[in-house]
Chains A and B, each alone.
Chain A
Amino acid sequence: MWQWFHRLGSPRWFYNTSGKWLPWLSVLAAILLSLGVVWGLGFAPQDAKQGNSFRIIYIHVPASFLALAGYYVMAISGAVGLIWKMKLADMVMKSAAPIGAVLTFVALVTGAIWGKPTWGTYWVWDARITSMLVLFFLYLGVIALQYSYTSQDAASKASAVLSLVGMVNIPIIYKSVDWWYTLHQPATIRLTEAPSMHPDMFHPLLVMILGFYCFYAVALILNTRVEILYRERRTRWVQDMVLETPVSEIREGQN
């Protein structure tokens, strides 16, 4: 029963399998993102109150979704790394941190740009925005911890513990608009109810969210593959691959 789990933990197996998925995922992400951008920015109707400025939702909401979901990816890989000492899990944790940090940054910046024409201010210290800023610092903390130890093992342990502690923040971000008085409006997309958004506006948003999920998967796989090659650089399979590939590629280039 645990066999698949242990096989998943083999960097070599992951490197080979993800290499097969990568082109498909990249194409899917590119299609979904370009469809969503053109549909959302060009064809979706404008909002009755906010006009065209609401269209930043097509970047803001998907980026925020993945900033939160990506934190779970990072923290859960950290936990798996701590419990099973799985090398691949540590690599995924390290690779997820910069992607999550960038997405959180995008969410914060697009939110600020959106805030000026609608609320009348770029920034306000309400619970949603502040907890999102804390998430950004948590990601930066994990990145910093990764480079603060000479031993990779110690770095993985420390960043896994920080990721797990910081996981408390995710439900807080999500529920902040319901638990406290905030300037940020409550969620438009809810699990249990229909979205409080016209379908013509919601469908492109859904496409963008799916596109961001695929893009996240592509970015995470690419980052993890680099990390695998670097950490496994002294192993036989990586050296064999490095010795083999360039020759054939050079020949192809010459022909």
Chain B
Amino acid sequence: MHPIRRQRLFMVIFIVVVASVAVGLLSYALRENINLFYAPSDIVSGKAPEGVHIRAGGMVVDGSLERADDSLFARFQITDGEADVEVHYTGILPDLFAEGEAAVATGELDNNGVFMASEVLAKHDENYTPPEVADAMEAAHQRAADAADNSVPTDSTTPADDY
């Protein structure tokens, strides 16, 4: 390769490397702020700031969702497997919001450690399944669970393999 071209090639590599290092350091320094939400364990352990607007994200705990009869109030718990946070929200929940699915709530922690949400978003996963297949898998899951119940008691809190 011609020396001048080689010099230009090094210049190009230099630009790419320096830009990568700069952006890498920047995103490393800002990593907490790049995260869209805090996990429940961060909130319980006090890593998340209190009294300011934050987002909390996690899996909606099975059986924790309670809706008021006479208003749009709803309460549920979100978990990351280590800690749970109670969320209170008044408003319309997204269609895909469901127990066992992930959700992201925006709001503030009150003094009792309850997360008062002003907005709740559903976070869907990367799996796509036709309804019949999903029903068949659900039924198979149920059968397996029943069989397991009849033989030996197992922990029912294994993460859902919902594909």
Contact = CB atoms under 8 A, between A and B. Distances in A.
Whether both chains belong to one complex is answered with: yes
Task: Using C-beta atoms within 8 Å of the partner chain, give the interface range for chain B.
Answer: 35 or more
Interface in A169-197: 169, 172, 180-183, 185-188, 196-197
A183 to B, nearest CB: 6
B35 A181 contact: yes
A196 to B, nearest CB: 5
Nearest to A196: B127
B129 A47 contact: yes
B36 to A, nearest CB: 4
A208 B161 CA distance: 28
Interface string A144-175: 00000000000000000100111111001000
Contacts of B134: 48-49
Nearest to B104: A183
B15 A164 contact: yes
Most chain A C-beta atoms within 10 Å of own C-beta, residue among B16, B35, B101, B123: B123
Contacts, number: 122
A32 interface: no
Contacts of A251: none
A71 to B, nearest CB: 13
A196 B124 contact: no
Contact of A124 (B12, B31, B36, B97): B36
A198 B36 contact: no
A54 interface: yes
Interface in B91-106: 93-97, 101, 104
Contact of A196 (B31, B121, B128, B132): B128
Interface residues of A, number: 42
A117 interface: yes
A57 B124 CA distance: 14
Interface in B9-23: 9, 11-12, 15-16, 19-20, 23
Interface of B: 5, 8-9, 11-12, 15-16, 19-20, 23-24, 27, 31, 34-39, 57, 93-97, 101, 104, 119-135, 163
Closest 9 CB pairs of A and B: A120-B94, A45-B130, A48-B134, A126-B36, A181-B35, A165-B19, A197-B128, A185-B126, A83-B8
16 contacts: A45-B132, A47-B128, A47-B131, A48-B130, A49-B101, A118-B94, A127-B34, A127-B36, A161-B15, A167-B16, A172-B23, A183-B123, A185-B124, A196-B126, A196-B163, A197-B127
